[in-house]
Amino acid sequence: MRAAPGGDRRGDAAAGAPDYSVEELGWLVRTEQVVYLADLVQRRTSLALEGRLTRAVLAELADVAASVLGWMDAERAQQVDRLAALLRDRHGVADLVDAR
């Protein structure tokens, strides 16, 4: 998901969530009081409700959130891991695997 240096993906559809553009996801993070990746995934999109989450989708959404919120790589990875654990432990979502 990360754009190449000098690249701009804002108008592109998110690969793992093609009904959301990268620009729209960034707007949600900026304007809808997103603090954690869980805020974006569970409360600002329908992806979790529709059962469309994979590790790759979480990583892609985390890239968008990280770019807006200024997360370093370690924080980004922690947000993905924390949300995957929350989905597993509280919501019974089996291990998130990358879609092939």
**In total, how many domains does the chain have?**
1
In a domain, 29, yes or no: yes
Structural domain span for residue 72: 17-91
In a domain, 55, yes or no: yes
| pTM reported for the whole predicted model | 0.83
In a domain, 62, yes or no: yes
In a domain, 52, yes or no: yes
pLDDT, one tens digit per residue, over 26-78 is 999 999 999 999 999 999 999 998 888 988 999 999 999 999 999 999 999 99
Distance of CA 8 to the CA centre of its chain: 18
* Secondary structure of the chain in HEC code, one letter for each residue: CCCCCCCCCCCCEECCEEEEEHHHHHHHHHHCCCCCHHHHHHHCCCCCCCCCCCHHHHHHHHHHHHHHHCCCHHHHHHHHHHHHHHHHHHHCCCCCCCCC
